[in-house]
Structure 1
Amino acid sequence: MISGFLAIDKPEKISSFDVIRRLRRILKIKKMGHGGTLDPFATGILPIAIGEATKLLEFIANNDKAYEFTMKFGVATDTLDLEGSILGTNTIMPSNESLINILPQFLGKISQIPPKYSAIKINGQRAYDLARSGIDFEIKAREVEILDLQLLSYDAEKFEAKMYAKVSKGTYIRTLASDIAEKLGAICHLNYLRRVEFGKILEKDTISLDILEKMVNNGEHITKVFLHTTNILDDIPVFEVSVEELGKIRQGQFLQKSLNLPDSSIISLIHQEKIAAIAKYESGLIKPTKNIIF
Structure 2
Amino acid sequence: MARKRKGRDISGWLIIDKPAGMTSTAVVNKVRWALEAKKAGHAGTLDPEATGLLAVALGEATKTVPYVTDAMKAYVFTVRLGQATNTDDSEGEVIAESDKRPADDEIKAALGRFVGDIMQVPPKFSAVKIDGQRAYKLARDGEDVEIAARPLWVEELVMVDRPDPDHVVLEMTCGKGGYVRSIARDLGEVLGCYGHVTELRRIWAGPFDVEDAIGLETVEELARTPELDAYLRPLEDGLGELPELKCTAEGAARLRHGNPGMVLASDVEYGEEAWASFQGRAVAVGTYKGGELHPTRVFKP
Q: Above 0.5 in TM-score?
A: yes
Check whether the contact 1:8–1:206 (CA below 8 A) recurs between aligned residues.
Answer: yes
In structure 2, the partner of 1:193 is: 200
Out of 274, 277, 290, the position equivalent to 2:297 is: 290
Q: How does 1:4-19 map to 2 (within 5 A)?
A: 4-19=12-27
- Give the CA deviation at 1:76: 1.1
- TM-score of the aligned structures, taking structure 2 as reference length: 0.91
Confirm whether residue 99 of structure 1 aligns to residue 107 of structure 2. yes
Q: Equivalents in 1 of 2:276, 2:258: separation in Å?
A: 13
In structure 1, the partner of 2:257 is: 251
- Give the CA deviation at 1:228: 4.2
Q: Equivalents in 2 of 1:26, 1:115: separation in Å?
A: 34
Check whether the contact 1:4–1:223 (CA below 8 A) recurs between aligned residues.
Answer: no
Give CA-to-partner distance per residue, 1:2-24, whole Å, 9 cap, x none: 11011111111111111122223
CA RMSD of aligned residues (A): 1.8
- Give the CA deviation at 1:284: 4.4
Confirm whether residue 275 of structure 1 aligns to residue 282 of structure 2. yes
In structure 2, the partner of 1:110 is: 118
Q: Equivalents in 2 of 1:17, 1:23: separation in Å?
A: 10
Out of 167, 176, 181, the position equivalent to 1:174 is: 181
- Give the CA deviation at 1:192: 0.2
Change (3 A) 1:227 1:24: closer
Structure 1 counterpart of 2:10, one-letter code: I
- Structure 2: 5+ residue stretches without partners: 1-8
Out of 48, 59, 72, the position equivalent to 2:56 is: 48
Check whether the contact 1:34–1:47 (CA below 8 A) recurs between aligned residues.
Answer: yes
Q: Equivalents in 2 of 1:292, 1:213: separation in Å?
A: 29
Q: How does 1:19-34 map to 2 (within 5 A)?
A: 19-34=27-42
In structure 1, the partner of 2:152 is: 144
- Give the CA deviation at 1:262: 4.3
Q: Equivalents in 2 of 1:261, 1:271: separation in Å?
A: 17
- Give the CA deviation at 1:280: 1.7
Give CA-to-partner distance per residue, 1:143-193, whole Å, 9 cap, x none: 101101111100234x11111000110111110111112111111111100
- Count of aligned positions: 292
SS of equivalent residue, structure 2 residue 162: strand
In structure 2, the partner of 1:212 is: 219
Identity %: 34
SS of equivalent residue, structure 2 residue 138: helix
- Give the CA deviation at 1:194: 0.3
In structure 1, the partner of 2:246 is: 240
In structure 1, the partner of 2:96 is: 88
Change (3 A) 1:276 1:284: closer
- Give the CA deviation at 1:220: 2.8
SS of equivalent residue, structure 2 residue 33: helix
Structure 1 counterpart of 2:128, one-letter code: I
- Give the CA deviation at 1:268: 1.1
- Give the CA deviation at 1:213: 2.2
Check whether the contact 1:196–1:203 (CA below 8 A) recurs between aligned residues.
Answer: yes
Q: Equivalents in 2 of 1:121, 1:274: separation in Å?
A: 37
Q: Equivalents in 2 of 1:2, 1:182: separation in Å?
A: 48
Out of 161, 169, 178, the position equivalent to 1:153 is: 161
Confirm whether residue 230 of structure 1 aligns to residue 265 of structure 2. no
In structure 1, the partner of 2:169 is: 162
Check whether the contact 2:284–2:298 (CA below 8 A) recurs between aligned residues.
Answer: yes
* Bigger shift: residues 1-10 or 263-272: 263-272
- Give the CA deviation at 1:137: 2.9
- Structure 1: 5+ residue stretches without partners: none
